[in-house]
Amino acid sequence: MHGFPPSTFQRRRSAALHRLGKGVMVLPSAGRVYRAGDSELPYRPDSELFYLTGWTEPDAVLVLRGFADDARVVLYVAPRDPAAEQWTGIRMGPGAAAERLGLPPADVRPLERLSSELPGLLTGADLVHARLGEAHGVGEDVGSVVVRSTVASLALARRRGARTGSGPRGIVDPGGILDELRLFKDAEEVRAMRAAADASVAGFEALFDRVVAGIDGEAEAEAELLRAFRRAGASGPAYAPITAAGVNACILHYGANDAPILEGDLLLVDAGAEVRMYAGDISRTIPVSGRFSTRQRELYEVVEAARASAVEACRPGRTVEAVHEAASLALVRGLVDLGVLSGDPAVLLAEEALRPFFPHRTSHWLGLETHDPGDYAREGRARLLEPGMVLTVEPGLYLPPPGLFQGLDLPDPDPAAPFRGLGIRIEDDILITDDGPENLTAALPTDPDALEARLTG
């Protein structure tokens, strides 16, 4: 359960059951992922199932019944199997699972009972909250049971519902309930996210030391991060790291990480550690020589000013859009000062003159997933920030050189020419509190002078 007490998950299930009303929710575990053939990648549990139970083994299905008087929480898990466990590891089994999760033993059942019992568990619900397209994640057989039982219940309700007033009459996305719950982090989650942020910072600090000592290429930078994450107590990376040197930093989701790092390059690193299932997410752009060139520093200072403006905007009552606007306006002003853009910053922003240089948003929610679920707008209006939310702030500027992308249309003369080939992103993780933004990753410097001092010792 990754260090969370059973009471944490009991509270979450109670909140979900309350919101379910007369509905039923069916959540299968994540499926196994194979690299090739039967070579299995490390298993990563389904975030929703973990959020409500703490369960981390494959081949499981959770059923929540908001309408029921008994068996309101039923969990199906794989039974003990010594022959299988010799190959893939020890299973907990229903008995130990019930004790660990704090559930009645009768409500933690062997997975083979799912096909015969699920139709009855759905009976009486008005809606089924399930992602049928993802039900195959627990394996084809189990996924078929979930789909078949749900469809059969809908068909039965169609035939009998008008007279009996019972049976589900529709399928809805469980995210309608769970996304909102997951958007607000409780005290246990905040502790996990602070630990993930700390482990992420430790990885970057280790990389900074290696850069100063000399590093051969992007692959070595990635390896140093992964080693340091595990050494800091993380289960591994929260997502595939980006270690992009030179012009590769102009590719937003660069992932090859196999190019050499040359003297004078900037190295854009976007990486985060996962601790107790929660993600850290940091970006830093560092001069591998230890010091920025004049042009590198000029562009870096624009992005750093945008980061600081966006963090300041992360306050209760402000909107997610206001955070993006604060960063974007600072970027436009900086590009005007550098002569890359010309005109009134507000007008340029309205005309989307910034988009070729900053094509992504400033923020995303952070939690069990790097891009955690949650609405950014409601009824056409940007979401207000509230205490307990965690989001990233990651402005950037990307000026690809001619020829990097086919058909890149550059003006002649190009006012951005002195900065072509530079890609810069700076990212921190921000917890919204009653007192304003708490920067969970503030221990890692972003100020260019502080960054140079850290790199050169």
- Annotated catalytic residues are 38, 253, 270, 281, 360, 364, 371, 394, 398, 425, 427
Separation CA 285–CA 425 (nearest Å)? 6
Separation CA 288–CA 215 (nearest Å)? 9
Separation CA 2–CA 196 (nearest Å)? 13
Separation CA 254–CA 395 (nearest Å)? 17
Please give the structure tokens belonging to residue 280.
């850290």
By DSSP bridging, strand 171-172 and strand 128-129 are parallel
Is cis: bond before 401, omega within 30 of 0? no
DSSP 8-state class, residue 219: H
The amino acid present at 92, given as its one-letter code, is M
The amino acid present at 270, given as its one-letter code, is D
Cα distances (Å, whole numbers) of residue 328 to 231, 268, 345, 439 = 37, 20, 10, 20
Q: Where are the beta strands (DSSP E) in 18-93?
A: 24-28, 34-36, 39-40, 60-65, 73-77
What is the torsional sign of CA 373, 377, 382, 383?
negative
174-179: long-range contacts, CB 8 A cutoff, minimum separation 24? 174/25, 174/27, 174/48, 174/129, 174/130, 174/131, 175/373, 176/129, 177/16, 177/19, 177/20, 177/25, 177/129, 178/16, 178/48, 178/51, 178/52, 178/373, 179/373, 179/374, 179/375
Separation CA 32–CA 37 (nearest Å)? 12
User: In the chain, what is the straight-line distance between the N-terminal and C-terminal CA atoms, in Å?
Assistant: 41
User: In 10 A of CB 331, how many CB atoms?
Assistant: 27
